[in-house]
Amino acid sequence: MKNRLRVLRAERGWSQAELSDKLEVSRQTVNAIETGRYDPSLPLAFKIGRVFRHKIEEIFEE
């Protein structure tokens, strides 16, 4: 699954550590999602959507 997490994070000037704090996950998790090695659960995907103020489908795509 592809995602725009890295782009959205860069737009806001956040580091992976800052984003991981906002999502309450580890930095490794943020990195794994950004690189497409890990697809987040639905609750985490919703949380990502809330943090970036986007719908899930605007961040993630098949």
Partner 1 sequence: MHEQSGSIWKSMRTGTAGIGWFLSYVAVRAAVQSPQPFSRSALIAIVLLPVIPAAFFLFFFIRDMRRKDELERRIQLEALALAYPLILLLLLTLGLLDLVIDLNPEDWSYRHLGPFVILFYVIGLWFSTRRYR
Catalog residues that contact partner 1 under the rule CB under 8 A: 24-26, 28-29, 31-32, 37-38, 40-41, 44
Quote the tokens at residue 41: 């659960």
- If the CB atoms of residues 24 and 62 are measured against partner 1, the closer one turns out to be 24
Total residue length of the chain: 62
CA 53 to chain CA mean position, Å? 12
CB of 31 to partner 1, least distance (A): 8
Q: Which is nearer to partner 1, 32 or 56 (CB)?
A: 32
Residue 59 near residue 49, CB atoms below 8 Å? yes
Structure tokens at 43: 């609750």
- Of 26 and 57, which has the nearer Cβ to partner 1? 26
